[in-house]
Structure 1
Amino acid sequence: MKKEMIKLLLSHNVISEEEAKRLDLINDETIEESIKELGFGKTEHITKDKICETLETDEIAKEILCFRKVFSTNSIAKFLANHSAEEGTVLISEIQTKARGRLGKKWEAPEGGIWMSLILRPQVPPARIGLITLATGVAIAKSIRSLGVDARIKWPNDVLIHGKKISGVLTEVNATFNEIDWIVVGIGIDSNLKLEDFSEDIRIGTTTLTEELPAKVDENELIAIFLNEFEKVYQLYKDGEIEDILKDWRDLSDTIGKYVNITQTGGKITQGYVVGINNEGSLIIERQDGTLEKIISGELRTVE
């Protein structure tokens, strides 16, 4: 299977002949695992040609790899990122069999959704890593809103319609204390799906574009709209125009002004009103005693 993967990467000019020879010598079980169930069959709905019909990007999506079925587009994207894939490479699969969400949460990615990953190599300070999730949320929300629905962003990585999850972001990074090698951003959008396409525990708090709209969505067009929006916000991210990103995020936020319960890593629980986010993307909470607390990461639940 590894040889087939290398052949695929060569055919898309992701790696050179010399790099292919080096990869062929690698005996790495994690590589084998990440590409084990890679589907080389022709996609049935999503194609590069159809996406490019409405794509307007300059740097993002110069390379688009479309698959029928994979374990996880993020796993393949990390494999490619570790082997010199160019910035802006996009991987899309019609089905993911072992998709995962933030903090290892269960994520289902059946046929009918949009499941994709982007490889990024921003030359920005590592302190800015957290903002890429917020920026991606802005791009997703704007894309879905273009369809006429009121998509809003829940900190840190979800997009909602009427309080129900329609999309999520999984960001994975390889970086040192002073340099980012790569960022892989995974995006899932519940597009042409019905709630019964998910297991019962996933249906709670979930919605789909099929549930929200009277007609099916053109997935290729929606992918292109998202990539167009993402390139705009990513350019702001790279240029350090953080306030522009945060303004859009605040305008689209479903979190600011709400009373929330946040469980942080280690089990610490914080309750209070969300008063905003700072320039690093951390949430600012006003606790009951009037003091402010910065939350870098955690699981957020709105308290009614």
Structure 2
Amino acid sequence: MRNEIVNLLKKENKLSDNTIDELKNINIDDFSNIVKEIGKEETTYIKADEISKDLQTEYIGKDLYIFNEVSSTNTLAKFLSMNGAENGTVIISEKQTKAKGRSGKSWESPLGGVWLSIIINPIVDYSKLPLITLATGVAVAKTMERIGVENSEIKWPNDIMINGKKVCGILTEAVTKFNTIESVIIGVGIDANLNVTDFPEELQEGTTTLKEELKKEGNENLLIKIFLEEFEKINELFIAKEYEAILKEWRKRSYSIGKIVEVREPFNTYYDAYVLGISKEGALIVEKIDGTLEKVISGECIIKN
């Protein structure tokens, strides 16, 4: 995290050469106010005033920090969450140089996408974290519906699909202290006004974008605004412990249920299974080839043709 913050400050010319040499003796947290100031400066494409105008939320997105380029909005959100950022704070960047994915994967996020992270401070234990990811998936899917995408689906645990191709990924991370969750960072990346060819060749086959699906470019600021509204609605259900209501919305849009998948669990445990449904904890319920049932709590499920 330290290196990412230093790189941001250097890129924005907020550090002199002398200061950089002295950084090893300085607490990086001392620069949090400068980082916040950078996040309030004018950016080229994503505009705070357009997002905030008539934004129908009580707390999500009321505090916005928008950057031209960062390594990862999740990393920056973690830093700000540890330095006084309020519940519902949103960090957005027009580009990411080291976007974070599951299993430590990283890649560049180009101009034209929606790359953001939300800080929430739920009173929750670790067992409920998967439900936050599922709830975010519902919020993204409802956002797609509001902009005219009629067939978005949610692939367990963290992808949004259109016509069998990924258009959005979600990464939920907890910020902890003494085994207590102090805040949760929810990273969302939506392939909006992009062409599939903007991505590395190895990602193109299973990827789509809103521009290609809707056959036109959309308004990124409006897309963010709609998503923040939908996220607050589903987050309110989470706060009220209306977990079944969240799961009901998720099941209606599930891409995974009813499919044969290759389950890839941690520690290289792989097996084929049929997806039966999802548990109240957010685990995927699958039937293995030998007829036994399993709950998949973490890992990846690859749809088999």
TM-score class, shorter: 0.7 to 0.9
1:303 paired residue number: 304
Deviations 1:24-72 (A, max 9, x none): 984359x99xx7xx88873111111000124100011110111111111
Question: Are 2:276 and 1:288 equivalent residues in the alignment?
Answer: no
2:278 paired residue number: 277
Residue identity opposite 1:115 in structure 2: W
3-state SS of paired residue (1:129): helix
Distance in 2 separating the partners of 1:289 and 1:223: 45
1:69 paired residue number: 69
2:128 paired residue number: 128
Write 1 or 2 for the structure with the bigger share of strand.
Answer: 2
Deviations 1:144-165 (A, max 9, x none): 1222221110000000000100
Counterparts of 1:21-170 in structure 2, within 5 Å, are 26-28=26-28, 42-149=42-149, 150-170=151-171
Give how far 1:125 is off.
2.8
Please tell me the root mean square deviation across aligned C-alpha atoms, in Å. Answer: 2.6
Distance in 2 separating the partners of 1:72 and 1:26: 23
Residue identity opposite 1:82 in structure 2: M
CA 1:176–1:280 in 2, change beyond 3 Å: closer, same or farther?
A: farther
3-state SS of paired residue (1:207): coil
Distance in 2 separating the partners of 1:158 and 1:183: 18
Residue identity opposite 1:292 in structure 2: L
TM-score relative to the length of structure 1 = 0.86
Task: Work out whether residues 89 and 118 of structure 1, in 8 Å CA contact, stay in contact via their aligned partners in 2.
Answer: yes
Distance in 2 separating the partners of 1:131 and 1:211: 30
Distance in 1 separating the partners of 2:234 and 2:141: 12
Task: Work out whether residues 39 and 69 of structure 1, in 8 Å CA contact, stay in contact via their aligned partners in 2.
Answer: no
Give how far 1:176 is off.
6.0
Task: Work out whether residues 97 and 107 of structure 2, in 8 Å CA contact, stay in contact via their aligned partners in 1.
Answer: no
CA 1:142–1:196 in 2, change beyond 3 Å: closer, same or farther?
A: same
Greater displacement, 41-50 / 257-266: 41-50
Distance in 2 separating the partners of 1:125 and 1:40: 33
3-state SS of paired residue (1:107): strand
Deviations 1:163-189 (A, max 9, x none): 100000011112368742010011000
Task: Work out whether residues 100 and 108 of structure 1, in 8 Å CA contact, stay in contact via their aligned partners in 2.
Answer: no
Question: Are 2:243 and 1:242 equivalent residues in the alignment?
Answer: yes
Task: Work out whether residues 99 and 106 of structure 1, in 8 Å CA contact, stay in contact via their aligned partners in 2.
Answer: yes
Give how far 1:124 is off.
2.2
3-state SS of paired residue (1:97): strand
Distance in 1 separating the partners of 2:28 and 2:68: 24
Give how far 1:289 is off.
2.3
Distance in 1 separating the partners of 2:258 and 2:24: 54
How many residues are treated as equivalent by the alignment? 283
3-state SS of paired residue (1:127): helix
1:19 paired residue number: none
3-state SS of paired residue (1:130): helix
Distance in 2 separating the partners of 1:221 and 1:142: 14
Give how far 1:106 is off.
3.2
Task: Work out whether residues 139 and 229 of structure 1, in 8 Å CA contact, stay in contact via their aligned partners in 2.
Answer: yes
CA 1:142–1:99 in 2, change beyond 3 Å: closer, same or farther?
A: same
Task: Work out whether residues 243 and 280 of structure 2, in 8 Å CA contact, stay in contact via their aligned partners in 1.
Answer: yes
Residue identity opposite 1:221 in structure 2: L
Distance in 2 separating the partners of 1:92 and 1:202: 23
Task: Work out whether residues 40 and 65 of structure 2, in 8 Å CA contact, stay in contact via their aligned partners in 1.
Answer: no
Give how far 1:210 is off.
1.1
Q: What are the ranges of 5 or more consecutive residues in structure 2 without an aligned counterpart?
A: 13-22
Q: What are the ranges of 5 or more consecutive residues in structure 1 without an aligned counterpart?
A: 9-22
TM-score relative to the length of structure 2 = 0.86
Deviations 1:181-238 (A, max 9, x none): 0100110000000112111112120000111112211111110100000001001111
Task: Work out whether residues 120 and 183 of structure 1, in 8 Å CA contact, stay in contact via their aligned partners in 2.
Answer: yes
Distance in 1 separating the partners of 2:189 and 2:53: 22
Distance in 2 separating the partners of 1:300 and 1:145: 25
CA 1:258–1:96 in 2, change beyond 3 Å: closer, same or farther?
A: same
Identity of aligned residues (%): 49
Give how far 1:102 is off.
1.1
